[in-house]
Amino acid sequence: MTRRIALVLEYDGTRYAGFQLQSIAPSIQGTLEEAIKGLTGVTSRVYGAGRTDAGVHAIGQVVRFDTDSELAIERFRPGLNFHLPEDIAVRAASEANVNFDPRRQAIARVYRYAMIESESRSPLRGRFAHHVGRSLDVLAMHAALER
């Protein structure tokens, strides 16, 4: 019997070409699909609430996949995390309705853009923020957002 499983992911996208499956570069989707196959022994296609670009991170990306695996739902999170690299983690796993579509049924999406205003780069924060070598004109940015 086919089951639909929903996952909540967190990942550091630094070394990935984005969420979507790529034929010539590692992706979050491809890496997750490999982990699912490693856990269940069956190939499954993963569908996400959205696609992140290369180098983009996620804290609560929702995805779903279908499987015939009879593995108990509480085994998916630790089992997948065993098969995933350190920069991708399953934070939650649950059974989903057969019609669940994370892209179309998302209630909200939140995007956070971080910038570092500094003359020098930040080795610790540089993977998670864009380095701006000068002061930002916050008033001009606010005016642009109003338009």
Return the bridge partners of 90, or none.
Answer: 9
Among 53, 68, 101, 137, the one annotated catalytic: 53
Q: Give yes or no: 53 in active site.
A: yes
Tell which residue, 88, 38, 26, has the closest CA to residue 63. Answer: 88
Residues 6+ apart with CB under 8 A from 48: 19, 29, 61, 62, 63, 102, 103
Q: Taking phi first (over 0 means left), then psi (-120 to 50 degrees means alpha), and beta for anything else, what does residue 69 get?
A: beta
Instruction: Name the residues annotated as catalytic.
Output: 53
